[in-house]
Structures are given as C-alpha cells and as structure tokens.
A = this chain, B = another copy of it.
Amino acid sequence: MPGYVSDDLTPEEIERQSALYGPFTQAVRELVDATIRTTVADEEIKQAQAEIEALTARLRSSQLDGPFGVRFSQGRRGRPWGNSVVGLRNPVAPPLIIEKHPSGNGEVWSDFHLGAAYEGPPGLVHGGVSAMILDQILGEAAGAGGKPGMTGTLTLRYRQATPLGDLRAEGWIDRSEGIKTWAKGHLIGPEGITVEAEGVFILPRWAREAIAAQDPQKVTPSYFE
C-alpha cells in the first residue's frame, strides 16, 4: 500500500528528528489554542495573520507533495507522525502518548489533556473528539495484541458529559476470530467513565498478502492508524 514507506532511519536519527519536530509542533499547538482564545485588538490580529502567512510560505518553500504518510524503519514500529490523534508532527493531535501492557495482551492506556481546541458544548469535549480518540485507542489495542486491523465498525455510548481537561483512555481486546478483532475501551474523566466504545478491526487484504509473502522488503504493519 502506498504511503507505508520503509526508510531505514537509525534510532539516533529518529531521536534527533523527534527532538527537533516535537517542540516545534508543540509550539504550533499553543498557537492554535491562543488563536481560539485571544482577545487582542483587531490590528494585532491582522499583524499576526501577516506574520503567520510569511512563516507558512517559508516552511512551504520545501515540503512533501502530499500528507506525511507512515514511515517504517526495518524491523521497527512505524512512525505515524502525521496521525490526527498521536502524530508527533501534527498540531491537530493532542497528541496522545499510548502506553502498552508489556505482555502484549492488547491492554493500552493514555493520560492526556484536552484544551479549547477540542470543545463541543461549552466547556465539554466534543462528542466527535471522544469518538476520534476511542477509535485510535481501540485500533492500538488490536495492534498491541498482535491482531491489527482497520476500523470496520465502531459504537460509542455517551454515559455523561466529558469536561475539557485531564483525561484518561483505556482499551483492550475483547476477542478475535481470524482477520477480525473485537476491541473495547472507554474514556475516563474526573467523575468516572464518560464514554464507552467497542469496535471491530479487520486486517485488510493487502496486509494479509504482505504477511503471507514473508518478504522482508515489504512492510507488515503492526497497526494502521
């Protein structure tokens, strides 16, 4: 599948890039928050806009033709740095740092913070943002348990409103049959579970073929987003 690129970066080079792009992207996340909340004078907004446009032009003077994709280094987990939920280089991503149970049983969790950029009803996390995060968590659970797949179905039950602020998400594998894995999870706020999720994750045909071929040159992803 195009876009899963194997680039053979060394661990040192990955670390170097991560130390460069991590803080840069975080600075843009702070700007996103300030863009929503600023109350400075109109002239200052216009001045800031002009500076941002100039900065963007400089960054675009050399850039990828399309989206970031997912890069793999040989035998290593991919770097989904453009991903909307976990992407190190994506200012839209909070980003979630997802922890995995060392046994590889598929248990995953993440503690994270959602600010003004993730608002739906006033002061609350957008219901769709909760869905977005839980899709990622369930997909990561499937992958962490050695049963990766792309989302087939996803069902969310909203138990109570989720306030913006510090939150936790947890996911695990419920069961699996052949190419299908059923994963479950939930979002937890200061008053307990706010949203419950379950989904089916399905290993796509191109990945089944890549795995069957056992070709070391082919990428066989351990997860999909």
Q: Please list the residues of chain A having a beta carbon within 8 angstroms of any beta carbon in chain B.
A: 1-5, 20-21, 23-25, 27-28, 30-32, 34-40, 42, 44-46, 48-49, 51-53, 55-56, 58-64, 66-70, 81-85, 87, 89-92, 115-123, 126-129, 131-136, 139, 150-158, 161, 164, 224-225
Which residues of chain B come closer than 8 Å to A37, judged between CB atoms? 60, 63-64, 66-68
Minimum CB distance partner of A38 in chain B? B59
Which single residue of chain B is at the shortest CB-CB distance from A40? B62
- A91: chain B residues at CB < 8 Å are 32, 35-36, 91, 117
Tell me, in angstroms, the Cα distance from A44 to B57 when the chains sit together. 12
Determine if B25 and A35 form an interchain contact, defined as CB atoms under 8 angstroms apart.
Answer: yes
Q: How far is the CB of A120 from chain B (nearest CB, A)?
A: 3
* A-B pairs with beta carbons under 8 Å apart, 28 shown: A3-B123, A24-B45, A27-B56, A31-B59, A32-B90, A36-B67, A39-B64, A40-B59, A40-B61, A44-B59, A66-B116, A66-B164, A67-B115, A67-B119, A69-B122, A84-B118, A84-B120, A90-B119, A126-B135, A126-B136, A127-B135, A128-B131, A128-B134, A131-B156, A150-B161, A153-B155, A154-B155, A155-B156
A150: chain B residues within 8 A (beta carbon): 121, 127, 158, 161
CB neighbours (8 Å) of A48 from chain B are 24, 55, 58-59
Q: Lowest 7 CB-CB distances: which A-B pairs, in order?
A: A3-B122, A128-B132, A120-B225, A128-B135, A67-B116, A127-B151, A131-B131
Q: Is the pair B83, A126 in contact by a Cβ cutoff of 8 Å?
A: yes
Which of A48, A58, A67, A129 has its CB near the most chain B CB atoms (within 10 A)?
A67
